[in-house]
Amino acid sequence: MKRIILVGGGALALTAGVLAQTPAGNFDASLAAAPANMRDGAMVIKWKADGTYDTLRPGTNRLMCYDQAGDAGEQPVSSQCTSIGNLERVKQNKIYEAKIADRKEREAAFTEMEKAGTRVKPEFGSVFYTRQGKDAATARLHVTIAVPNATTATIGLPDNNKMGGAWIMGAGTTGAHIMTPGS
């Protein structure tokens, strides 16, 4: 009888230890942009101004999500999800967003980085899911697909929205991405 109690108690202690290591919390704000079929397995992180981050919840797929509400220039509701392959690109963005408040000055710095070849490329074909708005009821989902350095000639899509379909924004740069209409 003592062995059964000891084994049962050991299993209970092990279960409690595993549960204690699993981060608790409500990640709804961070996961607001995540596709439903990827939400449960997404890694949730919290960015710091220096470009480092804390992992609030480890993931089981390649999607990482983070809440941006409260960051300079962001809407009251603002979350983004993308591939973990884009960590370095997003890190570079976050560092410069914290360092240079003025959007035009920041874009000029990114342009200089493009010219110098130091602008980090996102993962080709990766998706950026962004949900933003004044409140949860009116927040809009915007979906783009990273195609660094793609142009109309290389990918066959127009570089403007005049046709009403998908198009490349930032063609020929590391930031080139496919804009998806209606999102």
Would you state the pLDDT for residue 60?
97
How far is 117 from 106, CA to CA, in rounded Å?
16
How far is 120 from 182, CA to CA, in rounded Å?
28
Residues 148 and 176: beta-carbon distance below 8 Å: yes
105-160 pLDDT, tens per residue? 999 999 999 999 999 999 999 999 999 999 999 999 999 999 999 999 999 999 99
pLDDT at 71 over 90: no
In the three-class reduction of DSSP (H, G, I as helix; E, B as strand; rest coil), residue 123 is classed as coil
Would you state the pLDDT for residue 24?
56
